[in-house]
Amino acid sequence: QVQLVQSGAEVKKPGASVKVSCKASGYTFAILVLHWVRQAPGQRLEWMGWINAANGNTKYSETFQGRVSISRDTSASTAYMELSSLRSEDTAVYYCAKNFLNAFDIWGQGTMVTVSS
Amino acid sequence: EIVMTQSPATLSVSPGERATLSCRASQSVSSNLAWYQQKPGQAPRLLIYGASTRATGIPARFSGSGSGTEFTLTISSLQSEDFAVYYCQQYNNWTFGQGTKVEIK
């Protein structure tokens, strides 16, 4: 069965960047489309973007355009989400999730990113 | 951006009772609507997609209905494991509602 395992918690200073990884197993990575979603404390879930693992095509939310970059390493069956110019409002749990008919059927366990000076 | 609005914010229900959760879209999303369940410290879990199709392994007590701008998630007889936060999501361009917390009455 498909499993998505994310990298561990991060603490960053304002202005820095963070890169979160999402390793897929139990599925052919190259046919996956993976989304990134974040959840700030007490806030609703917020979609950030997706990547097509087959060709590397990406689409980003306008909210994060210019600050987010999603990439993949097919040899490692891993997708990455990098968020730059971090501010305190970016403190959140970041999730990767597998696309299923445009809904999200499998989720990673989440990665807590804390932005604090 | 399509804004999703859920009601109520909190629903207090006794075990065995029926729970009805609502979700409204600011413009039509056809049937491109999913429901998720989230428990504290866990990732969301897909319950319903296509507005009314249960995801794999989801019990029959969960049902979804609606199309266009008005949607409903019904839990026919609440079990102890169903107390959680529920989110709707439109996937024309992926926005979520603010969630409904189902708590024990």
| pLDDT tens column, A23-37 | 999 989 999 999 999
Of A101, A103, A107, nearest to B43 by CB-CB distance is A107
Test A110 with B43 for CB contact under 8 angstroms.
Answer: yes
- Chain B residues within an 8 Å CB radius of A103: 34, 46, 49, 55, 89, 91
CA–CA dist B97, B85 (Å, integer): 11
> Is the predicted pLDDT of residue B49 greater than 90, yes or no?
yes
Q: In the prediction, which pLDDT does A80 show?
A: 98
Which residue, chain included where needed, has tokens 């693992």?
A: A53
Instruction: Give CA separation, B8 vs B21, B85, B94, in Å.
Output: 7, 11, 21
- For residue A1, the model assigns a pLDDT of 84
The two structure tokens encoding residue A34: 């993976």
Interface contact flag, B89 A45, Cβ < 8 Å: yes
Instruction: Please judge whether A103 and B44 are an interchain contact, meaning their C-beta atoms are less than 8 angstroms apart.
Output: no
Nearest of A78, A94, A99 to residue A10 by alpha carbon: A94
Cβ <8 Å between B49 and A101? yes
Q: Over 90: is that where the pLDDT of A54 sits? A: yes
pLDDT at A100: 94
The model's confidence at residue B27, banded by pLDDT at 50, 70 and 90, is very high
| Gap between the Cα atoms of A101 and B29, Å rounded | 14
Alpha-carbon distances of A41 from A20, A29, A90, A94, B40, rounded to whole Å: 18, 31, 10, 11, 12
Hunting for tokens 């009314």 — which residue is that? B52
Average pLDDT over residues B84-92: 97
Q: Which residues contact B97 (CB under 8 A, 6 or more apart)?
A: A44, B4, B5, B6, B23, B87, B88, B89
B-chain residue closest to A43, CA distance:
B98
Please check the confidence at residue A22 and state whether its pLDDT lies above 90. Answer: yes
